Structure 1
Amino acid sequence: MSFANTAIINDVTFHPCVRFRPWESNQILSFVPPDGQFKLMSYRVQKLKKTPIYVKPQLTSDSGNCRVSVMVGIRNDPGKPIDSITVQFQLPPLIVSADLTTNYGTVDILADKTCLWTIGQIPKDKAPALSGNLRLEEGLAQLHALPTFQVKFGIMGVAISGLQNDKLDVKNTPNAPYKGFRAQTQAGKYEVRS
């Protein structure tokens, strides 16, 4: 198997069935597949131009309260459903109570003061929004340390990295096999600072 644009690939890891020398010399994946399902390779792309979704957090605090508003939407439609979307952030230790609601999905505050907003798929008719109020400890007027929002999502059938399969040769098989390439995009470390 060879790819049209290997220059975008960084931090590659291979399944043990991959022969390393053909990759090292010509960027060709040569392997004997093991039985069953397996992950042939994983890689990272350092400078992804645009993520397919956006997350816009807004926090304002005064008089012992912090108002939170977070919107999530599709920035670049990859042509396939974006699913398994979650937004997570750590509530600062100075927060006494939190009252958060969402117009889509579910929001949970876990025991370690982590707020987990599970969206799933973004509906076509509205952008998911989370809003609410955080109550600060007595004597604090405003929140000084703002949280970082961690976002996760997945897209089956699309490689937003831009990696393209160039050629796939299958040898030593009695029948002509189906040749196919299946991609899956999964957010690694996608953080939005407020």
Structure 2
Amino acid sequence: MVDAMQVVVSPTHYLFQIYRNGVTFLACTQVEMPPLMAIEFLSRVADVLTDYLGDLNEDIIKDNFVIVYQVLDEMMDNGFPLTTEPNILKEMIAPPNIVNKMLNVVTGKSSTLGSKLPDAAASFVPWRSTVVKDASNEVYVNIVEELDACVNRQGVLVKCEAYGEVQVNCSLPGVPELTMSFANPTIINDVTFHPCVRFRPWESNQVLSFVPPDGKFKLMSYRVKKLKKTPIYVKPQLTSDSGNCRVSVMVGIRNDPGKPIDSITVQFQLPPLIVSADLTANHGTVDILADKTCLWTIGQIPKDRAPVLSGNLRLEEGLAQLHTLPTFQVKFKIMGVALSGLQIDKLEVKSTPSAPYKGFRAQTQAGKYEVRS
């Protein structure tokens, strides 16, 4: 299901789907429509339910079925997206808590629905309430990126792209006007915006102008194509003969991002014709899971030596050499830097009683990072 097509076309219907934490979100239409619109709406549904429920899986959805149904009913009306902002939805439908659950059990009725329309219903910006309570006069901006890469058997980088989001946590009083600009906006492609963003300033000057929702929200998402380097390298070598396969995997820093590279793991699936595996590492831990996945947890790369995984794989009797070579999946995290090179140049805040506090952060983690052997 993870690799299932997001768009499925039948003679009479169009199906759109996304996969999150073991749950498939499915939308069906009878007429052709832009796929990105449907996929973006399904992603929004998943994000809103995660915000409501704290996590997202099949059991949590079953336990909170009434709230899920009510949220979906408000998010879409007659087949069209309606209310998609979590802060507005929470004024209409209270998030689940112990008191609400007990009242539901005792009375048999839902106690989550509000008795009045949210304040934002009377606002000229429907994603923001006219009265923001407990505003601390702060705004935080995070650039969060995932790096997708593919390295072929010759060690050549054949694909390297960054998928990013600009996430904002806003706690500003009144109805503030924000303007954000990037130092290098020309590197980004395939941009999608939150409804609060005014498109004309971006189209003419690559400047984001918007009145933000209160709380956390995704301001924009983007892609940066054809990056030329990855921060780490993984060099696997597998040689087999006489029923034995020798394995050596070296990991090191190729392009120092200037920040520590954390949470490095390398995993691969043992081929089906392997009888036994004897693998060790000079740094980190090696675990072979029940489904024959080898997980090498490195953490951080030490400065004095390159981590190396080595050992032997014993093939089935009668098999001289290994014909199916594994693909290595790489994970890592870097705090404090966006590997695409995207940087925020300026953030201006207007229409607030006093100058707010502004904070900026960036992080990158590996998405689908494959190294073929």
Q: Which residue does the alignment assign to 1:64? A: 243
What CA deviation, in whole Å up to 9, does each residue of 1:33-64 have, x standing for no partner? Answer: 44444443343322111111111111111111
Give the gaps of 5 or more residues in structure 2.
Answer: 1-179
What CA deviation, in whole Å up to 9, does each residue of 1:116-158 have, x standing for no partner? Answer: 1111111112211111111111110001111111111111111
Secondary structure at 1:153 match in 2: strand
Deviation at 1:4, TM superposition (A): 2.5
Give distance in 1, aligned partners of 2:266 and 2:284. Answer: 11
Give distance in 1, aligned partners of 2:263 and 2:231. Answer: 13
Change (3 A) 1:183 1:148: same
Secondary structure at 2:317 match in 1: coil
Change (3 A) 1:142 1:76: same
Q: Which residue does the alignment assign to 2:334? A: 155
Q: CA RMSD in A?
A: 2.0
Give distance in 2, aligned partners of 1:2 and 1:177. Answer: 18
> Which runs of structure 2 are paired with 1:172-187 in the superposition (5 Å)?
172-187=351-366
Change (3 A) 1:147 1:172: same
Give the gaps of 5 or more residues in structure 1.
Answer: none
What CA deviation, in whole Å up to 9, does each residue of 1:98-128 have, x standing for no partner? Answer: 1111111111112221111111111112211
> Relative contact order: is structure 1 or structure 2 higher (C-alpha 8 Å, sep ≥ 6)?
1
Q: Which residue does the alignment assign to 2:52? A: none
Secondary structure at 2:358 match in 1: coil
Change (3 A) 1:114 1:15: farther
Deviation at 1:6, TM superposition (A): 2.2
Change (3 A) 1:11 1:114: farther
Give distance in 2, aligned partners of 1:188 and 1:11. Answer: 18
Change (3 A) 1:62 1:87: same
Deviation at 1:186, TM superposition (A): 1.4
Change (3 A) 1:179 1:70: same
Change (3 A) 1:42 1:108: farther
Worse-superposed segment, 113-122 or 166-175: 166-175
Deviation at 1:70, TM superposition (A): 0.5
Aligned identity (percent) is 92
Q: Which residue does the alignment assign to 2:233? A: 54
Which of residues 201, 204, 221 in structure 2 aligns to 1:25?
Answer: 204
Q: Which residue does the alignment assign to 1:14? A: 193
Change (3 A) 1:15 1:154: farther
The normalised TM-score by structure 2 is: 0.48
Q: Indicate whether 1:101 and 2:262 are aligned.
A: no
Larger Rg: 2
Give distance in 1, aligned partners of 2:281 and 2:187. Answer: 38
Q: Which residue does the alignment assign to 1:167? A: 346
Change (3 A) 1:173 1:73: same
Give distance in 2, aligned partners of 1:16 and 1:102. Answer: 50
Worse-superposed segment, 176-185 or 72-81: 176-185
Give distance in 2, aligned partners of 1:13 and 1:87. Answer: 32
Deviation at 1:85, TM superposition (A): 0.9
What number of residue pairs does the alignment pair up?
194
Give distance in 2, aligned partners of 1:3 and 1:163. Answer: 7
Give distance in 2, aligned partners of 1:18 and 1:90. Answer: 44
Q: Which residue does the alignment assign to 1:135? A: 314
Change (3 A) 1:135 1:3: same
Change (3 A) 1:171 1:34: same
Change (3 A) 1:135 1:31: farther
The normalised TM-score by structure 1 is: 0.89
Deviation at 1:178, TM superposition (A): 2.9
Change (3 A) 1:38 1:106: farther
